[in-house]
Structure 1
């Protein structure tokens, strides 16, 4: 996959806004620089990507963030991703996120406020949905919280639970996934302050804490996570703008360092990356810096598997910027960028 030693990156985009589909890029092993090597345009708006693994090798999955809502799967053994099946409908509208868990593909469907479970065949091909879990509720925001809006779904580090983050209901749902039946069972729901608009969460590498990023209220909420009981307990919230701001602020993606010392959050509007220092156990997050993301409207922020670089998918400037991270301070510094119209997400293989 790609030149030996470089690795590959896959970049999702919004084709409805000028994106070209899924871009493939080689990753320089020394500098982290991205070089485009190909593109595949087989589904509309492949805005979020995930990689699953089979005995035959890795499989790339993409949402199609459209009113019809679908997922696509690709063989990535060659230079350009090859579709391995026709897109599969998720029975939900505008899927914004997906993840692989226990032999299933899960999608968070924003417009319909639901989570879909699709069984995966042995070769990684997604099957017809086995279950759709519909969220209920709303929030105080007059336009954004008239109903549920599932924005992220992911397994917890222990593999026992599936969490779904809902911007519309100001909450995180904890579910168990019956691998044989392919069905989600609601176990509990954690409420966040009204109007927070939680978008995404990230776990501490030790597994005992999770960090929920608000999109409507620019805060990071530190939560204790009990994987045995399946309980998410908010502890404290940190403002990403402690002195206030008059700008339109829309945080998008939290990322935790491999050593658990730092957390970064992409912030659209001011187009920055907030840098937060975590304490020794991960229960306190303090804002220490805010730096330019290198583009406009960073929809996603990803840490390279090496842990030494961040990649920001800047939707409105149409590029992916990579930033070298100071291992001591955690502060990132722009190192380069690749043109990628309407970029929305980056994954690495």
Structure 2
């Protein structure tokens, strides 16, 4: 059962061509029933990754000529919401793959597009977005990975950590310092000198197959560079991270929806004293908060997607706002979900514990809650000063 968070409003709830119905059916039948198992095993099965490709969900935003479906960003956001409702680890795979594929499409050379996009579109080749480092996190200004120019191209040395899909990705988008500035390189994962170590035992999105990636004297040709040297910080990173933030925001709406669904189902059948939990006023208050927060979050994501489709620069701040609200609201809803389920909320027999852990991840990745607060407030002061 899915309890609607919102009806169509200004296109926000529209379902072009039945795409969302198809995705929803896929989530209900092939993702949600197995999310707990994948969470416990800390990995996604290869057959699921293949199935996502069969459904054309790895990069549907690409034009048809490049293997996609020309899907709008607004619709893609709804797709990522549905996937996030079923399993945040699957949504995480789609997030980083979107960031890598969009980078190749937007900033790659003709040769890079021809070489990589067809396989990225089908999921035959998966991408990993390699920015975060052990000692500097996502602070690009403190990155320690370095690419040095040589006669044959570039030599890369450094270490990346917390790479989603890093255990199975075939193409790494690696951010390195080049002569003091940030550059981006497309590095096949099987390049000599690339060492990949799985990271396990994490709190949330446990099936996202995180990896530590060490690059030791990795030689790549000049054709591996995305754009001019030292160009990535102001272009590639800004655009790709915005899309990642958008996907996480939409996925957080999915977590909210999953919390609502789980709590409505649980309280409708769970009895206390002479009645059901659903009859208690405090329970109904928590359910109401989930509904309202979810509707607001979905509309904020829809606005960010609409602005992306219009190529409006305002989408950057709209995405910050959407991600801030959606992720914090998802965490609040997941906390309430655990509370509503009581001791069962700590059990793998119910989704509440997994949703709680996954929601917390959304408050950290693609810009932490605190960074979002600083960024949104700074924009407010700029607006007043104009």
Higher RCO (C-alpha 8 Å, min separation 6): 2
Same fold (TM over 0.5): no
TM-score range, shorter chain: under 0.3
Larger radius of gyration: 2
Question: What is the TM-score normalised by the length of structure 2?
Answer: 0.25
